Structure 1
Amino acid sequence: MERLANVLLTSLICLVAGGQFVQVITRYLLEIPVLGLEESLIYPTLWLYILGAVNASRENSHIRANVLEIFLKTPRQFALLAIVGEVLSLAIGLWLTWWAWDFTRYSLRVWRESPTLYIPTFYADVALVTGLGLMMLYTAIHLIGHIREFATAEEKANG
């Protein structure tokens, strides 16, 4: 799974960077802008952004401001704080995923198209529900891991 994520993210970033490079060369050096290039780059850019967030969730490497950790002393307290954080993340994330699912259904029903190239915007809109769904899966996996850490820390504390 990690290899697939790395290949996909690398491909998307190369595509976006290559498209921007072409845009800069044609627009500013050749003074011939490519019609629709910016519009077509929105799709891989959006997927790159969402899948980057999914990757951070998979790696459990989101930026956190864990100020409460300053006051904690034992591994059990750290695990409990992590459990509370994951439960809150899961609750909020599931609500957002439900909202994104409603938006995806709306997008499918309306079937809007981009203004210049007439690319269906559904292909970009579906990224949100896909990304949030995957992030919630990884959050649940991390929650289970923190619950196991808490149980292990409790066993060690009791002897």
Structure 2
Amino acid sequence: MIAATAAILLAMGRIPICDCGYVLLWTPADDLAGSSQHIADWYTLSHIIHGFIFYWVLWLVFRRKSVCERALGAIFIEAAWEVAENSPWIIDRYREATIAVGYTGDSVLNSVFDIVWMLTGFIFAWRMPVWVTVLTAIFFELLALWVIKDNLTLNVLMLVYPVEAIRVWQGG
């Protein structure tokens, strides 16, 4: 599924790696052009939280399925999101509704690793007590909010129902 996602993204015209021509393990907060182009960035925390959420939802809905079957379901959901997130409609929506005015979408490398990071979160949620996973999610949300003034919660809110006051605050 991950290879198929990469092939679909390439067919959609997504760039394989950053236009800069090199690959970084981590993109710092001040490298806005490199965000969503390398292996990990501050939005990686959101993808790990996706894994937490997918683990719990799929556990609730498909308790009789094995954890491996549920993990495949999570990969499918995240892969579908990566394709949708890199469609012109969602890219344009991010530009108009959030502070990501210059957002051009993810590189294929970043999308593939977003799926891997989600799977990491899924496995974490499977192996850790619920309270540890919840505290980790809260910590990740607060850390991203503090460093980049954005996180999964605000990202979803601003994508679905933009709030001008939040956009102004995020813009500094």
Tell me the TM-score normalised to structure 1 length.
0.26
Q: Higher helix proportion, which one?
A: 1
Larger Rg: 1
